[in-house]
Amino acid sequence: MKEYREMTSQELTALREELRQEYSEIQARGLSLNMARGKPDAEQLALSDAMWTIADASTPMVGEDGMDYRNYGLLFGTREARRLMGEIMGVSRENVIVGGSSSLTMMYDTLMRGMVFGMLHSPKPWYECPDRKFLCLVPGYDRHFAITQDLGFELVTVPLTESGPDMDLVEELVKDPSVKGIWCVPKYSNPSGITYSDETVRRLAAMETAAPDFTIMWDNAYGIHHLYPDAPDELADIFALAQEYGHEDRVIAFASTSKVTYPGAGIAALAASKANLDHIAAHMTHQTIGADKINMLRHVLFLQDLPHVKEHMAKHAALLRPKFELVLRMFEEQLREPGVARWTNPRGGYFITCQVPEGCAKKVVQLCAEAGVILTDAGATHPYKKDPQDSAIRIAPSYPPIGELEEAMKVFCLCVRLAAVEKLLGC
């Protein structure tokens, strides 16, 4: 086979005929496969089912704090849960707030506090800065973009390279005092799967920003989600580096057990400097008396400590790895020779980014939908859902059983080839 762009128009026309025929046959099968979101599958969820029985009325409900966990209290969460999330996030217990069951909610609340009251070093609340802007890495996570759009920030696009954000551009953009922060998924990023290099983390920690309240939203959602636990990606310690440069209040980190135990029913945490935690507490104390300590207790009993968490995550990896490897093998076999796509090779996380020829992503997603395979919308990886190249597609291999995933990826590869041929033919 040769690359499609080296083919004559006669060859392309014949190929198109063939691919269209194959596509009609698939359409006739009436498939119904959904790969839109990166959710764990049922087998992964079952890994945590011991949590249903791990606590009962005979479980001691008074923890290290000497508090009865069945009752109100502990704004920052139980001592044991803070220690566990601290171990997971690589920070000490004193720097952690364990909140409810969603880190996304904690991110929203963090930025809302910035809007209404200002961040620790804000000269005034963000709502009083009408031209406020937030840096968004692309490809990136649609729900991040949506939060800052919802709060009235202008979303400024920065390319994500193989080593993290394009730091030359970031360092230039932060000279503008209306640029208030940046969204980062530093490890096994959503959706490209890349991990920031040490140099990138250092530059983020070190850079001078015109805004004194510039905030790094360090969403380490996939910090322990390795596909190859024996050879994990390593991420530099941003808090240690930020401290070195006197910028420790700049970073607010987030994580949750959504993809460790149960999505939406795990425990979520925020980590920050002591000064930031005091600032947050001053407002949070009016928002809640404390989050669900029974859920924290269940999680601590089940996950125990970092070594046990790692064992548990290796079981997730064993289920996820064959799915990622299948997708990557199919891309290699079906898309490499025709030269119609590029893709990332993540070593963790939940996603692969596939770049199809410019102007084809929307068409591929639509062709797939019309053949019964629902993918994440094209454009979702970019602010305002607009990918100027119309090229990036987020692939989420985790949820379908492997047989269905193979079916779905056959359809996807066919649709990429078809869209690429039709683009070359100008139809």
CB of 100 to ligand PMP, least distance (A): 9
Closer to ligand PMP at the Cβ: 300 or 416? 300
Closer to ligand PMP at the Cβ: 85 or 241? 85
Q: Which residues contact 235 (CB under 8 A, 6 or more apart)?
A: 186, 187, 195, 196, 201, 220, 223
Site residues (CB under 6 A) for ligand PMP?
A: 38, 102-104, 141, 185, 190, 219, 221, 256, 258, 263-264, 268
Closer to ligand PMP at the Cβ: 15 or 98? 98
CB of 107 to ligand PMP, least distance (A): 7
Closer to ligand PMP at the Cβ: 104 or 411? 104
Cis before 191 (ω within 30) = yes
CB of 339 to ligand PMP, least distance (A): 30
CB of 189 to ligand PMP, least distance (A): 8
Residues 89, 93, 98: CA angle, nearest 5 degrees? 75
Residue at shortest CB range from ligand PMP? 256
Backbone angles phi, psi at 301, to 5 degrees: -65, -40
Residues 83 and 247 sit within 8 Å (Cβ to Cβ):
no
Residues 304 and 316 sit within 8 Å (Cβ to Cβ):
no
Q: CA nearest 217: which of 291, 153, 128, 287?
A: 153
> How far is residue 105 from each of residues 77, 100, 111, measured CA to CA in Å?
16, 8, 10
Strands (DSSP E) found in 283-397: 342-343, 352-355, 373-375, 392-395
Closer to ligand PMP at the Cβ: 118 or 223? 223
CB of 105 to ligand PMP, least distance (A): 6
- DSSP for 28-50 reads HT---EEESS----HHHHHTTGG
Closer to ligand PMP at the Cβ: 104 or 137? 104
What sign does the CA torsion over 118, 122, 124, 128 have?
Answer: negative
CB of 26 to ligand PMP, least distance (A): 29
CB of 272 to ligand PMP, least distance (A): 17
Closer to ligand PMP at the Cβ: 12 or 221? 221
Order the strands of the 164-165 sheet from edge to edge. 96-98, 268-271, 251-256, 215-219, 179-184, 133-138, 154-161, 164-165
